């Protein structure tokens, strides 16, 4: 083991008390963090697999993107167990809700050699499919040592992440060189992985699989039913995947909107469950008549704010809205998935910080499908403009869905590349 890897592993062990303290602290707001700690060290029931196909998605967004890949792999390899790992409880809940016992789900172990060894002994992966930007040196080195191919699917790497590796850049470079293939979302992401040190012959631009999302049937009918209940003619806007630092700005925007449209309804969807109660309290502290999903099911005729304190229902509420703000972008989070409202033909607003989805948001803005706002005041002003001009809102929605349709096709390209690697692995094992 090289010195840099030894130092990294030592640092991981030394940091473990802090990591566990942080896990417990997060558990104060989300009880899911208090459970299943042994899984994070590679201790879980042995499923008895002879081999498996392993997909890692850190949380909800990455898992949602992986769903069509997992479904395709199930169809192509019906006898191969599918292992899905996440890191967050919300990601875990989403996996279990989507697939139940059709997949074997555990938390990804911490990047400690002994924990990784226990994990591999139990699941015996034929391939590691890692979604987006999860680069854990010990995990990648362990895959290389065991000749487990690593496929980084829907790979993206922001400029901020590239700079953030700092003094660990050489170790990260060595880790990414373990990957069999980096399936990049865009040419820009491809170039950044090359800057990181990925071999050029192992980097391929396949597109963003989030463009291939399937719109569930029945969303329009469901939206009509809900809007009838809370007032079919009311203007409705949604602030989705919001964070603590930007919810006040959203509510200030809503106050401005109510000045122009007194019957307007805000649907507020906090990104994390630990924000649910705080978001409800914040809405009420502004004097808004507030209802929520867990207590009231749907908004009432006199609701001014409706807080979605549930998971896995964002698309249903996007479908109900006349305009959509995608959170994580007023604050320095980097933005969240703008393709869901785009696929539903909705006008989109985003804040100044969208480095996680830079190319997509730039494309939507260039195609007049999205607007960038600097703060809560600008957000309120632009929502008023959109709600005042249905023709403009429709044109933005049409432009958004046109971008999505034009960029589809990454899923079949990704599956084809995965199948090539699995076939090559099978051939080597027979030799």
**How far is Cα 98 from Cα 63, in angstroms, rounded to an integer?**
10
On whether the CB atoms of residues 397 and 370 are closer than 8 A, the answer is no
To which H or E segment does residue 332 belong? Answer: none
Nearest Cα to Cα of residue 266 among 274, 242, 220:
242
Segment (H or E) for 193 = helix 187-196
Q: Catalytic residue at 62?
A: yes
- Nearest CA to 87 among 37, 139, 160? 37
Quote the tokens at residue 286: 């502004």
Q: Which of 39, 50, 62, 274 is flagged as catalytic?
A: 62
Q: Residue 46 contacts by C-beta under 8 Å, 6 or more apart in sequence? A: 121, 122
Q: What are phi and psi of 204, to 5 degrees?
A: -140, 135
Helices (H), ranges, 286-408: 293-296, 314-320, 339-343, 358-366, 376-388, 390-407
Supply angle C-alpha 333, 13, 2, rounded to 5.
95
Q: Which residues pair with 349 in a beta bridge?
A: 325, 371
Asked whether 292 and 280 are in contact (CB, 8 A), the reply is: yes
Q: How far apart are CA 400 and CA 404, in angstroms?
A: 7
Of the candidates 8, 402, 399, which has an alpha carbon nearest to the alpha carbon of residue 166?
8
The distance from CA 17 to its chain's CA centroid, rounded to whole angstroms, is 28
Closest Cα partner for 378 from 349, 337, 338?
A: 349
403 contacts 344 by C-beta, under 8 angstroms:
no
What is the 3-state composition of the chain as percent helix, strand, coil, each rounded to the nearest 5? Answer: 55, 15, 30
Whole-angstrom Cα distance, residue 290 to residue 267? 10
Tell me which residue of 309, 315, 321 sits closest to 67, measured CA to CA: 315
Q: Which residue has the tokens 């895959």?
A: 143
CB atoms near residue 158 (< 10 Å): 18
> Among all residues, which ones are annotated catalytic?
62
């Amino acid at each position: 083991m090289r010195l840099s890897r030894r130092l990294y592993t030592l640092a991981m062990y030394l940091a473990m008390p802090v990591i566990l303290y942080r896990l417990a602290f997060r558990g104060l707001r989300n009880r899911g963090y208090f459970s299943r700690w042994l899984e994070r060290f590679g201790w879980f029931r042995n499923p008895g697999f002879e081999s498996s196909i392993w997909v890692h998605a850190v949380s909800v967004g990455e898992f949602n993107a992986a769903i069509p890949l997992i479904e395709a792999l199930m169809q192509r390899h019906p006898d191969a167990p599918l292992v899905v790992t996440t890191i967050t409880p919300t990601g875990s809940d989403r996996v279990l809700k989507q697939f139940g016992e059709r997949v074997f789900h555990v938390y990804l172990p911490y990047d400690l050699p002994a924990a990784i060894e226990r994990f591999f002994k139990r699941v015996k992966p034929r391939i590691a499919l890692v979604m987006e930007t999860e680069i854990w040196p010990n995990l990648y080195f362990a895959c290389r040592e065991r000749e487990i191919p690593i496929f980084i699917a829907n790979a993206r790497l922001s400029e901020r992440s590239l700079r953030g590796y700092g003094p660990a850049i050489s170790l990260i470079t060595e880790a990414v060189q373990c990957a069999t293939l980096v399936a990049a979302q865009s040419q820009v992401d491809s170039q950044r992985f090359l800057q990181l040190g990925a071999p050029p012959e192992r980097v391929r631009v396949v597109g963003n699989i989030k463009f291939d999302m399937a719109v569930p049937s029945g969303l329009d009918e469901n939206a009509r039913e809900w809007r009838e209940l809370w007032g079919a003619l009311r203007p409705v806007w949604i602030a989705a995947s919001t964070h603590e630092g930007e919810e006040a700005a959203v509510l200030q925007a809503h106050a401005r909107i109510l000045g122009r449209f007194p019957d307007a309804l805000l649907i507020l969807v906090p990104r994390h469950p630990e924000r649910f109660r705080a978001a409800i309290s914040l809405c009420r502290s502004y004097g808004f008549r507030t209802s929520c999903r867990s207590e009231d099911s749907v908004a009432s005729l006199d609701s001014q704010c409706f807080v979605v304190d549930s998971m896995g229902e964002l698309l249903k509420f996007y479908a109900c809205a006349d305009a959509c703000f995608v959170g994580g972008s007023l604050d320095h989070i980097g933005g969240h998935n703008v393709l869901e409202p785009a696929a539903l033909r909705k006008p989109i607003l985003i804040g100044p910080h969208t480095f996680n989805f830079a190319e997509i948001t730039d494309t939507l803005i260039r195609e007049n499908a999205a607007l960038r706002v600097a703060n809560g005041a600008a957000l309120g002003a632009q929502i008023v403009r959109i709600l005042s001009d249905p023709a403009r809102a429709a044109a933005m929605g049409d432009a958004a869905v046109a971008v999505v349709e034009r960029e589809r096709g990454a899923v079949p390209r990704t599956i084809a590349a995965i199948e090539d690697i699995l076939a090559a692995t099978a051939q080597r094992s027979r030799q």
